[in-house]
Copies of this chain bind each other. A is one copy, B any other.
């Protein structure tokens, strides 16, 4: 029984190469999970095979910029001549339906999200050591030495930003990291700040007791 029935916005981030995508996939591969994701909106052209509303919402630049002005994005970026963003109304819809919305973002997008949604749960995934992450980047084998050095430099600049997040989760194994995230989601639902209203409602007593 959850006193807080609204879904949580759970933001996953972490330094380049830490494996946040793999951890996210592990969450979604669990049986009977209650997670959902958000389809991004973009101004880039639809590629063959891509489906509107599944891969992206494809819109014009004018439409996107109008939406930015209206504060309609949880977060957005401009990249290689195109906009990419998470529409706020879709996020609210998902949360109201009681699903946990799992969002993977770039390290420096955390503040943007917290400004729009103060009750987002932000999680910074980290490697067990710097070296573990370097090794991982090297082992991919698909990139040149130069590219690897660039990725390492990027990770190094991202490591220190952990302090902007609510939780730090060590990715020592994918299953452990996913387990920790599940525990965080469960605990967050039990937080007094999220559940006290429902609790007082259950007591039939919503008006007489203030919070400190």
Contacts and interface: CB of A to CB of B under 8 A. Distances in A.
Interface of A: 1-3, 123-124, 126, 128-130, 159-160, 162-170, 172, 176, 179-180, 182-184, 186-188, 190-192, 195-196, 199-200, 202-205, 208-212
Contact of A209 (B163, B168, B176): B163
Tell me how many chains of this kind the complex includes: 2
A129 B202 CA distance: 6
Contact of A196 (B123, B168, B210): B168
Given A130-B203, A162-B199, A199-B126, A191 B170 contact: no
B164 A212 contact: yes
A190 B162 CA distance: 12
Nearest to A163: B211
B186 A166 contact: no
Contacts of A165: 192
